[in-house]
Amino acid sequence: MAGSAARYIEEVLRKRGMRIVGERQSAIITAPEREQEVREFENKDERKEWRHENERLREGEEERFEQIGAQIGRAILGISSMEHS
């Protein structure tokens, strides 16, 4: 399954007066093992909670988003990436 909330989040941030400082990004997550996903759940919320607890970012994604966070921080502080190096 693929999807991105980035466009919606960006729209909400703009409506609240925020300035967008970079392009939209998506993260790749790995799904739980299929045989575990077959188990029974009492309701959709329980299944959703289980998936969120078991899904993981693909290797390298966490580091990439840490870099994005640093880029956002520099933009907020008015520091160019050249000054940071």
Taking the mean position of all CA atoms in its chain, how far away is CA 80? 24
Averaged pLDDT for residues 63-67? 90
Residue 39 has pLDDT above 50, yes or no: yes
Report the alpha-carbon distance of residue 38 to residue 51 in Å, rounded.
Answer: 12
Residue 56 near residue 33 (C-beta atoms within 8 A): no
- The number of domains in the chain is 1
Averaged pLDDT for residues 78-85? 62
Residue 77 located in a structural domain: yes
Residue 3 confidence class, pLDDT cut points 50, 70, 90 = low
Residue 62 located in a structural domain: yes
Residue 60 has pLDDT above 80, yes or no: yes
Which residues form the domain of 41? Answer: 25-84
Considering the chain, what is the average pLDDT of its residues? 79
Q: Which position has the higher pLDDT, 55 or 82? A: 55
